[in-house]
Each structure stands twice: as structure tokens, then as C-alpha cells.
């Protein structure tokens, strides 16, 4: 089940298991890609022309233009909804100033040093939580400003582990 928020206001729950439903109501629709790259959509007996203007995979947003009207759609996949329900919604955000513990755990290994330049995706720390090793990676290019933890120490949810600049 996917949650889609349109223009920051209207929220829809979309399910595609066997038949497309929106807010638990069946939707009769079809779509075809046109030679121009636009889409022709027929939904519940109405015809629409849609164009994809922008797709941002990092923020999970899509900007569509439907019948000359722009719509910004924020998408929450099941994993996003699960993390939000666990109170760790920001664990998947790409721009992080400080690396914080999303849950209680034990710091197994610190992989960086203060002053070190790191690139987006570089591993910075390994945290054991719920008998699983979690490798924390940098969400962006940064410099390690300060390391607030040491290896083999327990940390609490929300505790700052590494400060980036």
C-alpha cells in the first residue's frame, strides 16, 4: 500500500495487489504512452493527458502536469510508513548533518576519523541493534567534525553518534 500526498494537502491510499484501489475504492483506468512521451489516461470514464515533469528519487516526489495543471505528489512506500510508525522516519533522508542512532544499540566499529572527508554513500559506523549489524552511510559529501561515541559502547535512540559539517 502506497500513500500519495498531492500538493501537500490531499492524501490517498493506493493499493495495486490485484486491482487498483484508491482509498479502498476500485478504480477503473487505463493508460497509454503517447509518441510525445506524454500519457493518455482514461479513469472512471474521464480522459486526461499527463506529462511527467520531474522525478526526485531522493525525496520520493513526482511532479506531474495533468490537463495543463501541475501536481506535486509525495510518495510514502511501505518501508517509509513502517519507519514512521517506529519513530525513525528520518532514517532514510538523504541530507543529514548529524548521524544519530535510530534505535538503541551497541557501536561495533567507527569507520571514520575527525577531519576526514567522506563522500555520499561512504560507510561511517557499524551499529548492532536487535542482533543485526547496521552499516551507517553518509547521506552526502561532508567532513567528519566530531565523533561522539567509542567502539563497544551502548547508545540510545536519537543519540548523536557523528557530527558532520
Closest CA to 132 of 161, 152, 160, 106: 106
Classified as helix, coil or strand, 100 is: strand
Q: pLDDT at position 80, please? A: 80
Residue 133 and residue 99 share a domain: yes
| Overall number of domains in the chain | 2
Question: Does residue 118 sit within a domain?
Answer: yes
151 with 107: CB under 8 angstroms?
Answer: yes
Give the pLDDT of residue 50: 95
SS3 8: coil
- The span from the CA of 30 to the CA of 25, in Å, is 16
- Residue 138: the pLDDT is 86
The residue segments making up the domain with residue 109 are 93-164
- What does the pLDDT read at residue 6? 94
CATH at residue 105:
2.40.50.100
Task: Report the pLDDT value the prediction gives residue 84, as an integer from 0 to 100.
Answer: 77
With respect to residue 122, please indicate whether it lies within any of the assigned structural domains: yes
Tell me, yes or no, whether 70 and 99 share the same domain: no
Structural domain includes residue 145: yes
End-to-end CA gap in the chain: 37
pLDDT of residue 91: 55
* Residues of the chain where predicted confidence (pLDDT) is lower than 50: 94
pLDDT at res. 157:
92
d(CA 1, CA 126): 31
Does any domain span residue 88? no
For position 96, what pLDDT does the model report? Answer: 52
CA–CA dist 163, 143 (Å, integer): 9
**Could you say which of 22, 45, 76 is where a domain stops?**
76
Give the per-residue pLDDT at 88: 72
Judged on CB neighbours under 10 Å (0-12, 13-18, 19+), 29 is middle
Amino acid at each position: 500500500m502506497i500513500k500519495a500526498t498531492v500538493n501537500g494537502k490531499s492524501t490517498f491510499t493506493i493499493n495495486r495487489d490485484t486491482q487498483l484501489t484508491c482509498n479502498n475504492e476500485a478504480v477503473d483506468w487505463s493508460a497509454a504512452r503517447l509518441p510525445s512521451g506524454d500519457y493518455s489516461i482514461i479513469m472512471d470514464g474521464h480522459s486526461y493527458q499527463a506529462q511527467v515533469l520531474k522525478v526526485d528519487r531522493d525525496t520520493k516526489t513526482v511532479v506531474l502536469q495533468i490537463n495543463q495543471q501541475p501536481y506535486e505528489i509525495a510518495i510514502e512506500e511501505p518501508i517509509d510508513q513502517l519507519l514512521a510508525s517506529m519513530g525513525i522516519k528520518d532514517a532514510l533522508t538523504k541530507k543529514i548533518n548529524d548521524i544519530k542512532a535510530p534505535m538503541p544499540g551497541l557501536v561495533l566499529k567507527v569507520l571514520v576519523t575527525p577531519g576526514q572527508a567522506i563522500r555520499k554513500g561512504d560507510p561511517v559506523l557499524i551499529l548492532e541493534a536487535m542482533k543485526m549489524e547496521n552499516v551507517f552511510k553518509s547521506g552526502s559529501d561532508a567532513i567528519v567534525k566530531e565523533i561522539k561515541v567509542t567502539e563497544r559502547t551502548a547508545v540510545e535512540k536519537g543519540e548523536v553518534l557523528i557530527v558532520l559539517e
